[in-house]
Structure 1
Amino acid sequence: MSMTVWSDLVGQEPVVETLQGAVASAGGDGRSMTHAWLFTGPPGSGRSNAAGAFAAALQCQRGGCGECHSCTTARAGSHPDITRISTDGLSIVVDDIREYVRASSLRPALGRWQVLIIEDADRLTEKAAGALLKAIEEPASHTVWMLCAPAADDVIITIRSRSRLVTLRTPSTAAIEGLLVGRDGVEPELAHAVAAASQGHIGRARGLARDSGSRERRRAILALPASIHDLGDCLRAAGQINDEATTRANAYCDPTDERELADLRQGWGVEERGRRPAGFAGALSALEKDQKRRRTRLARDSIDGVLLDLLSFCRDVLTVQCATGVELVNADVSADIHEISRVWTPESTIHTIDAIVECRAALTANAAPLLALERMMMGLRR
């Protein structure tokens, strides 16, 4: 079976139908096409994948065949008329958006459209959103903006009202399992386990399937509730999660920071012991702030992944305690789940879930990660 640009949009048939209609309309009467789109859906549902497939299909003479030069360069991220805008930091600032707004007015180099995909539209600062709004209000005839965010409410209402909403749903376990087996060649039993554990997050399912280290880390996280008995256990577990998140963030950021600093020095013609040109200090300060924000975000995202795993474990415990008969998310650690379900009461399980949810909220509000984790662990103590 031939693979089109739509093949990776697992369990999103209504979305594919809508976007294919827009692509057909763009080459005809234009009634189903517009210059601003807002893709929303839960993490892992494929918001940016859907935007990328749509962008490729708009450039393709055959509506997204997946095989032509336009489709292959779009998939590789090298199509000159498709720009992806994302951030490793906590926000997308106005200066960056202004640059992209200027670029959006240029005529397409090869394709039929100048497409700009903002993968983290919920991270636009207020000024950045204002700059983008002007571009969306008065778009060039050849420009298409595609914004991605978890929910429509994450984008300011003035942009929301001028964009066509496309809502993705969480893919089913069976749909993700089918993709892993059919496309990635994953063994069916492993595919089923990681598809369930991913809770509808396609990227995470793939990561778990490919990396045994990720599967081991997940099992260690799921073993935490049974291992916490006293205050010392709480502090050790919190410290371990925080240290591992910091280590993983550093592993990515250290070489990236070094490379960016070298590029900045080269761009300004700065030698190690030479004089600093006027303006270099400001550029260096801005870079260091961006790098710090990126490091903070990556560490926070790593911790949030741990919290989501713990939430899924508690959900499974409550499922067993209430005898719902619903399939377990973490069926591969079923024995641990049943053991905890006998030790905890349904009320204490809900109390634990509340503690994890409060920790996530505290991290979103920029609380010190270690303190938030230590407080949460108190809620897991039995």
Structure 2
Amino acid sequence: MAVWDDLVGQERVREQLAAAARDADALVTAGSTGADVPEGSRMTHAWLFTGPPGSGRATAARAFAAALQCVSPDRALGAAPGCGFCDGCHTALTGTHADVTVVATEGLTLGVKQTRELVRGASLSPAVGRWQVIVVEDADRFTEQAANAVLKAVEEPAPRTVWLLCAPSLEDVLPTIRSRCRHLTLRTPPVDAVADILIRRDGIDPQLAHDSARATQGHIGRARRLATDPAARDRRSAVLRMPLRVADLGGCLKAAQELVDAAAAEAKQVAEEVDEKETEELRAAMGGGPGGRMPRGTAGVMKELEKRQKSRLTRTQRDSLDLALTDLAGFYRDVLALQFGSQVAIANVAMGDALDRVARESSAEQTLRRIEAIGECRDALDRNVAPLLAVEAMAVALRAG
């Protein structure tokens, strides 16, 4: 299984990365360095992966990182780097390679302190691998100071260091950074391709795989979650019933409260599982005694952990709520398709009766206004508006149309 096998529906990007990995392998084999990349080479020291949610930006970056570390002997026979089986590929993909650093922020932002540590690591020569690779899955979350720290590292690249930055769009990254990166755009994978990988890799029932892929419109991560988690399917069904519950103001406010509460409960469940393990591991590492007693001088470390956990909880709740809003927008997208008589495939087939009812009882103009209201709610959440206030305002707008 090659490192590219999980890159679904991205044939053009896969070809570009495979070609760059070949050139990178030739540079290292010839004893050259990242700073000495010859003109015309398909390899460069900084890459920017953009694409809609679910397109596989981080998957592509991780696969490329593994290909850069490939040490398969078959390369000498002309095989492309990225076999997926050698020690370099395997450790890079599993997150244990000494020269591959993957940053997936758990908070709302990536701060300058963490970023400076990345920059320091990027200045080092590879310890055991062929390249020093830094993968940042959420480059759009850099604070201004953090982005400036990365800019300096990208402007003056260390030999054999490669930055792989991921963001939803070019506009989400500092212009001075994106101008120094090679840009790759990923697309939303076809529904059939997503269903196929769920069947092949995860052993999902074919009907459930196709239903999940269609419901999420090609979002790989969400499709897998729906296919493997009955609770996620139940939560989604509850969200999609919201358009039927906003007939009066009381219904709007109740539906909004339940939506926010469900997101908070889901985030809390996820956080509790991770937080408990993290806390116990840190206590053990710091020499904590029975009854929760900790050695002197460790209170600051524990407080820092609690701060990170609180930030992660906030982001998890926001992400859960945003996912629900995305599903809700998908419902009205199907309504709009019915109202226009479009031949576009309906995503929420199981909600056929509700879709027909809403389509009959409203106009296309009203549906568009409702979709805009959902978008405005998502924007408000990005601006740190209190979740309940933002969702209540949206629910009232859904009622008014």
Do Structure 1 and Structure 2 share a fold, with TM-score over 0.5? yes
- Residue 146 of structure 1 aligns to a residue in which SS? strand
- Measured in 2, the distance between the counterparts of 1:357 and 1:338 equals 23
Give the 3 Å change call, closer, same or farther, for CA 274–80 of structure 1 in structure 2. Answer: closer
Selected match of 2:70 from 60, 67, 70: 60
1:109 match: 127
Give the 3 Å change call, closer, same or farther, for CA 188–263 of structure 1 in structure 2. Answer: closer
1:44 match: 54
- Measured in 1, the distance between the counterparts of 2:216 and 2:124 equals 41
Counterpart of 2:48 in structure 1: which amino acid? L
Within 5 Å, give how 1:1-382 maps onto structure 2.
3-28=1-26, 30=37, 31-61=41-71, 62=75, 63-261=81-279, 276-277=296-297, 280-281=299-300, 283-381=301-399
2:31 match: none
8 Å contact kept, 2:47–2:184 = yes
8 Å contact kept, 2:48–2:184 = yes
1:200 shift after superposition: 1.9
- Residue 165 of structure 2 aligns to a residue in which SS? strand
- Residue 144 of structure 1 aligns to a residue in which SS? strand
8 Å contact kept, 1:174–1:192 = yes
8 Å contact kept, 1:86–1:92 = no
8 Å contact kept, 1:5–1:71 = yes
Give the 3 Å change call, closer, same or farther, for CA 174–259 of structure 1 in structure 2. Answer: closer
1:151 shift after superposition: 0.7
- Measured in 2, the distance between the counterparts of 1:178 and 1:113 equals 33
- Measured in 2, the distance between the counterparts of 1:240 and 1:374 equals 11
Counterpart of 1:356 in structure 2: which amino acid? I
CA deviations over 1:109-158 (Å, ceiling 9, x no partner):
32101111011101111111111112112222111110000011111111
- Residue 183 of structure 1 aligns to a residue in which SS? helix
- Residue 202 of structure 2 aligns to a residue in which SS? coil
8 Å contact kept, 1:39–1:148 = yes
Give the 3 Å change call, closer, same or farther, for CA 324–251 of structure 1 in structure 2. Answer: same
Identical-pair percentage: 52
Give the 3 Å change call, closer, same or farther, for CA 269–191 of structure 1 in structure 2. Answer: closer
- Residue 233 of structure 1 aligns to a residue in which SS? helix
- Measured in 2, the distance between the counterparts of 1:274 and 1:71 equals 40
- Measured in 1, the distance between the counterparts of 2:201 and 2:237 equals 26
Give the 3 Å change call, closer, same or farther, for CA 273–334 of structure 1 in structure 2. Answer: closer
- Measured in 2, the distance between the counterparts of 1:161 and 1:244 equals 41
Q: Which runs of 5+ in 1 are unaligned?
A: none
- Measured in 2, the distance between the counterparts of 1:191 and 1:261 equals 37
8 Å contact kept, 2:283–2:294 = no
8 Å contact kept, 1:270–1:276 = no
CA deviations over 1:255-312 (Å, ceiling 9, x no partner):
54445455566666677667853x944x555444333221111101101111001100
8 Å contact kept, 2:17–2:64 = yes
Q: Which runs of 5+ in 2 are unaligned?
A: 28-36, 76-80
8 Å contact kept, 2:245–2:255 = no
8 Å contact kept, 1:40–1:149 = yes
Counterpart of 1:299 in structure 2: which amino acid? Q
- Residue 75 of structure 1 aligns to a residue in which SS? helix
8 Å contact kept, 2:245–2:252 = no
- Measured in 2, the distance between the counterparts of 1:295 and 1:320 equals 38
- Residue 115 of structure 1 aligns to a residue in which SS? strand
Give the 3 Å change call, closer, same or farther, for CA 214–114 of structure 1 in structure 2. Answer: same
- Measured in 2, the distance between the counterparts of 1:28 and 1:69 equals 19
TM-score (norm. length: structure 2): 0.89
Total equivalences in the alignment: 378
- Measured in 2, the distance between the counterparts of 1:269 and 1:173 equals 50
- Measured in 2, the distance between the counterparts of 1:93 and 1:173 equals 36
Counterpart of 2:61 in structure 1: which amino acid? A
- Residue 324 of structure 1 aligns to a residue in which SS? coil
1:49 shift after superposition: 0.3
1:229 shift after superposition: 1.7
- Measured in 1, the distance between the counterparts of 2:309 and 2:196 equals 39
- Measured in 2, the distance between the counterparts of 1:231 and 1:336 equals 20
1:209 shift after superposition: 1.1
- Residue 327 of structure 1 aligns to a residue in which SS? coil
Alpha carbon RMSD of aligned pairs, Å? 2.0
8 Å contact kept, 1:118–1:147 = yes
